[in-house]
Amino acid sequence: MAGAAQPGHDPQQLVVHQLKQQALALGFDPVGIAAVPGSPRLPLRTAALERWLAAGHQADMAWMADPRRRAVETLLPGVRSLVAVGLNYYVDAKRQPLALAVARYGWGRDYHRVIDGRLRHLGRWLESQVPGVQWRACVDSAPLMDKAWAEEAGLGWIGKHGNLIHPKRGSWLLLGHLLTTLDLPADQPSATLCGRCTACLDACPTQAITEPFVVDSRRCIAFHTIENRDAGLPPLIAAGMGPWVAGCDICQDVCPWNHQPLESSRDPDLQPRPWLLELAGEQALDWDDATWDERLRASALRRIKPWMWRRNIAAALRATKGNP
């Protein structure tokens, strides 16, 4: 847990200590606190977002330009602090040989629902302790610079692949934030520890990481398999996607911080649906919409519509044809 506070006799520290204990009891770890408006690093992260948008790296994700993303106070008037939480989604399981690949974040229940429900529980607890306090739960669907604020709260640093990295959990963390009007002492922001490593840049088959810390969605397999609504995938993506049909974990799989012994989550909401680890493309192409609806019930992967699944699977089968 980032910056665990000793309660002592300071009422603020006591609230922080109890708040973090409540978050841990809900399955979050690490947990940290950032103060608004944050350290001088936040304007730098905001400027980086503006450069990324200006370069068109967001592709069709117009919501990334929502001005609220750069002004946290618009999400909760009077916000003074953010409680940043991480949910470990690493499960020590592997897909079957020759199975098509699905990103780990989609193996279990829809993490938006899971994190939002637990954060709301945490917010109600905080309100019971401090009557009149205002709060708002945010997952990555909210217009918030979630990784920048998690970095600010000491949960980890933003790696060159654009994902947050925790020194003991690697990058397999789902993020959430509880915004509150309560003025809480902040934890120390995380230092960047990628060093000279370029493993993620070198491994990306479509060269989507155009430079350290810059991911061009237009070249990203994850973007195209999840967000692209075109009938066909671009030739660059179709040629480089390999077995990936829903997201892509290549840049995380090669990250040295993910090669250390990692704790496997036992959270029932994050355990993989067996069929995702043994996805046979030829068979899945014949599934009708009702079958997909049943298989993907309460899944974050429902964003990939049935026709998109079939498009992705057909492209992946062509990409992997003849490969072991």
The catalytic residues are: 140
Q: Where are the alpha helices (DSSP H) in the chain?
A: 11-25, 41-54, 111-129, 146-152, 199-203, 221-226, 235-240, 250-253, 281-284, 289-295, 306-320
Give me the amino acid identity at 263.
E
Task: Find all residues with CB under 8 Å of 142, minimum gap 6, and list them.
Answer: 75, 177
Among all chains, which residue has been given the structure tokens 């490969």?
323
Closest to 323 measured CA to CA, from 97, 160, 90: 97
What is the SS3 assignment for 135?
strand
Task: Find all residues with CB under 8 Å of 287, minimum gap 6, and list them.
Answer: 295, 306, 309
- The span from the CA of 135 to the CA of 128, in Å, is 12
Hey, how many other C-beta atoms are within 10 angstroms of the C-beta on 303? 14
Tell me whether the omega of the peptide bond preceding residue 30 falls within 30 degrees of 0, making it cis.
yes
- The span from the CA of 50 to the CA of 55, in Å, is 9
Closest to 175 measured CA to CA, from 163, 186, 188, 185: 163
Closest to 264 measured CA to CA, from 121, 88, 81, 102: 88
What's the maximum distance between 2 C-alpha atoms anywhere in the chain? 67
Hey, how many other C-beta atoms are within 10 angstroms of the C-beta on 25? 12
Phi and psi (nearest 5°) for 146?
Answer: -65, -40
**Can you name the residues that pair with 157 across neighbouring β-strands?**
165
